[in-house]
Amino acid sequence: MKRPKPFLNAGHLKWLALIFMIIDHTAVIFLANGLFLHLNDYSYDFLDQMYSYFLIMRNLGRLAFPIYLYLLLEGYHHTKDLKKYFMRLGILALVSEIPFDLAFSNQWLDWQHQNIFVELMIALMLFAWLDHFKERWFMRLIGIGLAFGLAYITLADYDIFGILAAVILYFAYGKRVRESIAILPAFAFEYYMPTVFLSSLFIYFYNGERGKVNQAFHYWAYPGHLLLLYGIKVFIF
């Protein structure tokens, strides 16, 4: 059977991931860390309805990370300067940490949970390690183990599941059908697995083209939207 014509470029995927991420963070910041902390102020029926919305938003939000991780792998294979790519992620990890901690734990610094760029940095280093030791499987296994350990120690956003997804995607890279289903095993035991499946469809219909992408906007939208959501939450509650 002939594969349907792909119609999504990298720009489309970035916008989809950004929208899903904002939906997810809105649910956590306003509902889990806002409204649900004031249970006595609202009726049971209202809170029950809000919890239903919360679950829907969280499920939609699970679509973001697989798309971002896939775009990271694409970026790795197409970047002309890996060091600069890594440095950009590092700078964004540092800049985003305070907005991330304020938004999710109401603290200036919270070492119990790190922002998504920490996970992406580990994944990017792992891709480079796996390429460097293409003919040495033992060294590749060591690199994978180190990446798992680093994600666990740093308390990165998706922990070892994000690194597992990165490993599976890395070895699936090159065939679109294989890439589109590769993300699923890593999240097989996740509560939001049904919607993670939808991210496979977006990857499946990716046409490999860059499209119109404002790279700076999509990078800085992460700390920017966290600060904005936190400010609104403080104003409301």
What is the sign of the dihedral through the CA atoms of 188, 189, 193 and 196? negative
Q: Is 8 helix (H, G, I), strand (E, B) or coil?
A: strand
pLDDT(111) > 80: yes
> Would the CA dihedral through 122, 223, 186, 77 be positive or negative?
negative
Residue 193 has pLDDT above 80, yes or no: no
Q: Which residue has the higher pLDDT, 5 or 122?
A: 122
- Please report the sign of the dihedral spanned by the C-alpha atoms of residue 207, residue 209, residue 211, residue 217: positive
Q: What percent of the chain has pLDDT over 90?
A: 68
Q: How many CB atoms within 10 Å of residue 200?
A: 20
Distance CA 19, CA 123 (A): 22
As a whole number of angstroms, the distance between CA 82 and CA 200 comes to 26
Reported for 74-82, long-range contacts at CB under 8 A and 24+ positions apart, including other chains, are: 74/10, 76/124, 76/127, 76/128, 77/173, 82/124, 82/128
Q: What is the pLDDT of residues 119-168, one digit of tens each?
A: 999 999 999 999 999 999 999 999 999 999 999 999 998 889 899 999 99
Give 117's pLDDT tier (boundaries 50, 70, 90). Answer: very high
For position 24, what pLDDT does the model report? Answer: 95
* pLDDT score recorded for residue 15: 97
**Residue 225, strand partner residues:** none
* Domain map (residue ranges) of the chain: 10-236
Given this model, what pLDDT does residue 2 score? 61
DSSP 133: T
- The alpha-helical segments, DSSP class H, found in 106-183 are 116-132, 137-154, 159-172, 176-182
Mean pLDDT of 79-93: 96
